[in-house]
Amino acid sequence: MFEQTIAVSQQLIKEAFGGGNLDLIDELCTDGYVNHDPLAGEQDRESSKQQMAAYRAAFPDLEFTIEDSFAAGDRVVTRWIAQGTFENEMMGLQPTGERGQPIEGITIDRFEDGLVAESWTQWDTLQFMRDLGAIPEGATRA
């Protein structure tokens, strides 16, 4: 029963975000989809696609590795690692040409009628901002 929802969650991460197939957002998410992201805030389907396109443009070789996935009720939890090379401008910052450190994250997807209705993602935004050069390497979490 849960195999299908787990597959949908993984497909969104690996193929939409990681692979750049943004049409999957319309196919696999409800019309009222809401994505909660610590860096971007709340997003609908269109703004989620724009955010994903911006990450893909800045990190053309962005790839995701799924570490764990499990489901309970109407939720799927996926733990993932992302990594890519900062090759194009992002958030006004010039590219470093460096491959960033692996970024770890966890996404929780809530399903309605087989589609993702809502996502909550927590990921290492501090390491990401370091990789962009926005925060010095010596900065720590307070």
Q: Within a domain: residue 104?
A: yes
Helices (H), the chain: 2-11, 23-28, 45-58, 125-132
**pLDDT for the residue numbered 82:** 95
* Predicted TM-score (pTM) of this structure: 0.90
Question: pLDDT tens for residues 26-45?
Answer: 999 999 999 999 888 899 99
Instruction: Give yes or no for residue 118 having a pLDDT over 70.
Output: yes
Backbone angles phi, psi at 75, to 5 degrees: -120, 145
> Is the per-residue pLDDT at 127 higher than 90?
no
Q: Residue 71: which domain range?
A: 2-132
- For residue 46, tell me if it sits in a domain: yes
* CA 49/CA 28 separation, integer angstroms: 13
In the chain, the number of structural domains is 1
| Structural domain contains residue 17 | yes
DSSP-assigned letter for residue 16: I
The reply to whether 142 falls in a domain is: no
Here the tokens at position 79 are 């733990």
pLDDT at 140 over 70: no
Please check whether residue 140 lies inside any domain of the structure. no
Show Cβ contacts of residue 27 under 8 Å, excluding neighbours closer than 6 positions. none
The CATH number of residue 67's host domain is 3.10.450.50
Indicate whether 141 pLDDT > 70.
no
Query: Would you say residue 72 has pLDDT above 90?
Result: yes
Does residue 137 lie within any of the structural domains? Answer: no
